[in-house]
Structure 1
Amino acid sequence: MRTILGLFILLFLPGCSSPKQQSPAGEINKEIASGNYTRATALIDSIISKGEIGELQKRTFLFTQDSLHRVKLDFNRTRDDIILWIKKNRLFTPSDSMLNSWEQSKALEFRIIDGEKRYFRNAAPNLFRVDESARGLTAGSPPGTDVPLDTLLIDAFNNKTGSDIKGKYLLPEKRMKARYTLTVNADAVPEGEILKVWLPFPRKDIDRQTNVELLATSQSDYILSDDKTVHTSLYMEQKTVAGEPTVFWIDFQFNSRGEWFDLSEIEAVPYDKSSSLFQRYTAEQRPHIGFSQNIRQLTDSVTRDAQTPVEILQAVYRYIAANYPWASALEYSTIANIPEYVIENRKGDCGQVALLLITMLRYKGVPARWQSGWMTHPGEVNLHDWAEVYFEGTGWVPVDISFGRGGPIPIPPGREFFMSGIDSYRLYLNTDFSGDFYPPKRYPRSETVDFQRGEVESGQWNLYFDQWRYRMNLSSQ
């Protein structure tokens, strides 16, 4: 419970500076720690209704209340639901001792909420992704993960070409055309209110992504961020109509070109440690990149035989790929420190292991940064996150640790292609995490780390993911 509780404590303290307000905040934190979400929500309602706090403090309390709602949405399964899923999909009935053992090992993820044991919405399929003993009880294959279409990579790798940078090879370029649609539920807000949306739009400052074109929009008036922020978006507004969903869409196209760096050809050059690049991308970036004792001890152990930046990358990449299987993730906004969560729970989705990799590399003095957007493999279009590592004299090298997990690939680097390479089926949206938007977003984000699904708010508050849906229709040439 401590990862989620830590988030709420962090949220409360800035907005409760006076002695008069410390006591209610402490009481609310105590209720959250005990899993009494309904009681905590009622206490927040009581504080707000008195009208004795400022606007910033009010928003802090509202976001904490909203976060409780987010956790309850994520943890919406009962034990009967878990048993039923296993009986239907794995063809056996788990015993209580099995379930208790999986809970104790954290393979079966749950929370105590309002006195009831509630399981993560994807806890059952995750169990068979991450726990070897569970997989051994059934002949069925594990539930799917985010591994790409390797056949496309094989063909592309065999047709790569050289470049003007030693060790860098270019993969064949792909032309993508997309329609992204965001639909807000009917009556999500009162009729006549203005909905404000930030839709994902391809960046123009990525060398691997070129010829970006906006083709059409649902609204004639819009604001394109033009890479002013680390999250690239197209902003639009629309007035709601009672009983009708509110729909926004954009059409765009772009080129994407993968690349691969042969690490054996990269010559080690000492970092310029006085440069702004080195200092920025080897620094902590709270709350999700921090050099805790846990991180330091683990990283030092993993890299004890590594001497060069390339060897450090190899050691960290191989360790994460071998020890943290892919699993469907909690919403990032409910996790206080994502790399620590991965270590504690021994699993992680693409963004979670990317943040762990970045944190470990930065601690060892190897510049690393976040990138994300969508994977655009035909039939496998989905949200995806990865990283980049900087080598002096070579530049930024793509690293997709999540795609580094899986079976062998019949190309010379094998699955370790993704240690220093990226395929041509990508949509690049973000060059960092937890950044600002343009125009600025007034209320807290639905996704506090990444930006791939869009963001929505009204004049009153943010609209969370349960109030709208999104769809990406994409074709490639």
Structure 2
Amino acid sequence: MTEKSFSFPDMNDYFRYLHMGLPEDILRRKLAGDFSGAVRLIDRKLGLEETPQALKNCLLAQREIILRLPGDYPFTRAQALERIREHIPDFTEEEFEQRVDAGKIGWIYGEGGMRFFGRFFETLCKTEPGFADRAKVVMRGAESAGKNSPAINRLENCIAKLKEKGSCRFRIRVRAALQLRDELFVPGMQVRAHLPIPCGCEDQEDIVIEEISPAGGLIAPEEALQRTVCWDMALQENRPFSVQYSYVRRSVYRDITQLRPGAEQPSFFTQEEPPHILFTPYIRELAAQLTRGLTNPLDKARRFYDFITLNMTYTFMPAYFVLENIPENCARSFTGDCGVFALLFLTLCRSVGIPARWQSGLAAEPDFCGAHDWVQFYIAPYGWLYADPSYGLAAARAGKEERRQFYFGNLDPYRMAANLAFQAPFTVPKRYWRADPYDNQVGELETALAGLRYEEYVRDKQVLLCQELE
């Protein structure tokens, strides 16, 4: 690491005040798509001495959110239709409207009218096999692939074998990299890069950092809540930052139907964590309705899992940077992605006193590597159990009830956990805005002047080895 200082306070902590809320005049402008007007009013509020510090912190986070929203919702209606018709020429406006009304095509008001989410096409391909067939798009990864695909067959076989043997272990090797886009590079510029690497946890061991390039990256300790390798250096040429690592991932099967929770349950990991993990009136009322008549914490957790996996619709999400009150909004819209569903499950569990905590990193399959989130919940005397609502929802979508049940209490071995907490700082902190202020699955990059957004650097990750061990 260089001696150049990045010791400023972490501005990402402003997000902890996001739930303070916007003044009504600013909120109206934001919702109406008058982003320049909203920023102007925020700047005015920030300049007033009487504005409380908590509100200023919220406004600073909201200001950056508003500046980033147009990038997540770039398409006009005509452009969105054209995006589909490039693949499906006979796609009708009525079909488009049906999906907008169903919440499958996200939108906001932007400058001049409705603006549609940049990844809506990918959402339709992932969640509607018929749409993907018409578009001639083949989805990869066990969560997205269609019936009888190699990924699904491999997953089904792995689960069956895990139930039969009781456990399995895999040696997995991954290479990950990120690089500044060429058009942003200036010779001699100071850059700080973070790439996630496997953390030490109960089902992840024998972690080996095999290669780091360029040399000199700082490796965070295995117990880091969001573990990374970090470089801080001046670049004379635009080169990638990369890491290759291997680890052993273990899965142990738990037959949830045979578990009998103890009379005493712990109270750790049951607290609120603003701005997202909050026991709002709606979350409390929803949790109470779902668990009415239940006393067993395992039954309560199962009810939450069933609520999500049997009722929700998967949609790709904008950058988490721009999202507010993630669990509650999911519980209202019935839409989300893996992290959104994990946060809703976690928040519902905590709201009724069931310990729950975050995990995230990669889905690391033999022929696929993708960012993914899941959750753990604690039931004494058995300890931490897994839940993956997103994989459970995918199983329900495919009509695979046994697989859906598996992901309540269990996890497949095709995982890399890098993060053990939501909204945890890095060992080497960021000076500027993170691309994702809450999670880290694909890496972060910043210069001496600013934190970079995802569109300003290129990320790559691939599984080099996924081998079952005896």
Task: Provide TM-score, normalisation by structure 1.
Answer: 0.81
Which residue pairs with 1:170 in the alignment? Answer: 167
Write the deviation string for residues 139-176 of structure 1: whole angstroms up to 9, x where unpaired.
7899858644332333334444899xxxxx322x1111
Question: What is the SS of the residue equivalent to 2:158?
Answer: helix
Which residue pairs with 2:246 in the alignment? Answer: 253
Question: What is the SS of the residue equivalent to 2:455?
Answer: helix
In 2, the alpha carbon distance for the partners of 1:141 and 1:342 equals 30
List alignment gaps of at least 5 residues for structure 1: 1-6, 15-21, 164-168, 273-277
1:352 maps onto 2:340 in alignment: yes
1:71-82 alignment runs, 5 A limit: 71-82=69-80
Which residue pairs with 2:10 in the alignment? Answer: none
**Alignment CA distance shift 1:143-1:326 (3 Å):** farther
Question: What is the SS of the residue equivalent to 2:253?
Answer: strand
Shift of 1:347: 1.2
Which residue pairs with 1:118 in the alignment? Answer: 115
Question: What is the SS of the residue equivalent to 1:261?
Answer: coil
In 2, the alpha carbon distance for the partners of 1:161 and 1:362 equals 29
Q: Determine which of 214, 228, 249 is the counterpart of 1:219.
A: 214
Shift of 1:119: 0.4
In 2, the alpha carbon distance for the partners of 1:46 and 1:414 equals 54
Shift of 1:127: 5.3
In 2, the alpha carbon distance for the partners of 1:290 and 1:372 equals 20
Asked if structure 2 preserves the Cα contact closer than 8 Å seen for 1:79 and 1:119, the reply is yes
**Alignment CA distance shift 1:315-1:233 (3 Å):** same
Write the deviation string for residues 72-130 of structure 1: whole angstroms up to 9, x where unpaired.
111011111222234344553423x6655654554432111112321001234535767
1:201-280 alignment runs, 5 A limit: 201-204=197-200, 206-241=201-236, 245-272=238-265, 278-280=266-268
**Alignment CA distance shift 1:262-1:374 (3 Å):** same
C-alpha RMSD of matched pairs (Å)? 3.8
Asked if structure 2 preserves the Cα contact closer than 8 Å seen for 1:361 and 1:368, the reply is yes
Question: What is the SS of the residue equivalent to 1:406?
Answer: helix
Q: Determine which of 177, 180, 184 is the counterpart of 1:181.
A: 177
Asked if structure 2 preserves the Cα contact closer than 8 Å seen for 1:129 and 1:325, the reply is no
After the TM superposition, which of the residue ranges 423-432 and 303-312 deviates more from structure 2?
A: 303-312
Shift of 1:58: 9.9
Write the deviation string for residues 273-320 of structure 1: whole angstroms up to 9, x where unpaired.
xxxxx3331221111111112112222222224331121122111111
After the TM superposition, which of the residue ranges 384-393 and 450-459 deviates more from structure 2?
A: 450-459
Which residue pairs with 2:8 in the alignment? Answer: none
In 2, the alpha carbon distance for the partners of 1:424 and 1:463 equals 33
In 1, the alpha carbon distance for the partners of 2:416 and 2:389 equals 17
Question: What is the SS of the residue equivalent to 1:445?
Answer: coil
Asked if structure 1 preserves the Cα contact closer than 8 Å seen for 2:16 and 2:274, the reply is no
Shift of 1:202: 0.6
Question: What is the SS of the residue equivalent to 1:452?
Answer: coil
1:37-436 alignment runs, 5 A limit: 37-41=35-39, 64-95=62-93, 99-100=96-97, 102-126=99-123, 144=139, 147-148=142-143, 149-160=151-162, 169-171=166-168, 173-188=169-184, 190-204=186-200, 206-241=201-236, 245-272=238-265, 278-407=266-395, 413-436=402-425
Write the deviation string for residues 319-351 of structure 1: whole angstroms up to 9, x where unpaired.
110111221111111111111221222211111
In 1, the alpha carbon distance for the partners of 2:42 and 2:184 equals 22
Opposite residue 455 of structure 2, the aligned amino acid is D
Write the deviation string for residues 394-419 of structure 1: whole angstroms up to 9, x where unpaired.
11011111111234799994321111
In 2, the alpha carbon distance for the partners of 1:338 and 1:193 equals 36
How many residue pairs align between the two structures? Answer: 445
Write the deviation string for residues 158-202 of structure 1: whole angstroms up to 9, x where unpaired.
444899xxxxx322x111112111111125254322100111111
Shift of 1:225: 1.2
After the TM superposition, which of the residue ranges 64-73 and 357-366 deviates more from structure 2?
A: 64-73
In 2, the alpha carbon distance for the partners of 1:48 and 1:459 equals 24
In 1, the alpha carbon distance for the partners of 2:137 and 2:333 equals 18
Question: What is the SS of the residue equivalent to 2:305?
Answer: helix
In 2, the alpha carbon distance for the partners of 1:322 and 1:141 equals 28
**Alignment CA distance shift 1:49-1:105 (3 Å):** same
Question: What is the SS of the residue equivalent to 1:80?
Answer: helix
After the TM superposition, which of the residue ranges 102-111 and 121-130 deviates more from structure 2?
A: 121-130
Opposite residue 426 of structure 1, the aligned amino acid is R
After the TM superposition, which of the residue ranges 219-228 and 363-372 deviates more from structure 2?
A: 219-228
Shift of 1:240: 3.0
In 1, the alpha carbon distance for the partners of 2:123 and 2:37 equals 30
After the TM superposition, which of the residue ranges 410-419 and 310-319 deviates more from structure 2?
A: 410-419
Asked if structure 1 preserves the Cα contact closer than 8 Å seen for 2:174 and 2:245, the reply is yes
In 2, the alpha carbon distance for the partners of 1:140 and 1:194 equals 43
Shift of 1:360: 1.0
**Alignment CA distance shift 1:271-1:412 (3 Å):** same
Which residue pairs with 2:440 in the alignment? Answer: 451
Opposite residue 82 of structure 2, the aligned amino acid is L
Shift of 1:238: 2.8
Shift of 1:474: 1.5
Task: Give the percent of matched residue pairs that are identical in Structure 1 and Structure 2.
Answer: 23
Task: Provide TM-score, normalisation by structure 2.
Answer: 0.82
Q: Which has the higher contact order (CA 8 A, sep 6+)?
A: 2
**Alignment CA distance shift 1:190-1:46 (3 Å):** farther
Asked if structure 2 preserves the Cα contact closer than 8 Å seen for 1:185 and 1:246, the reply is no
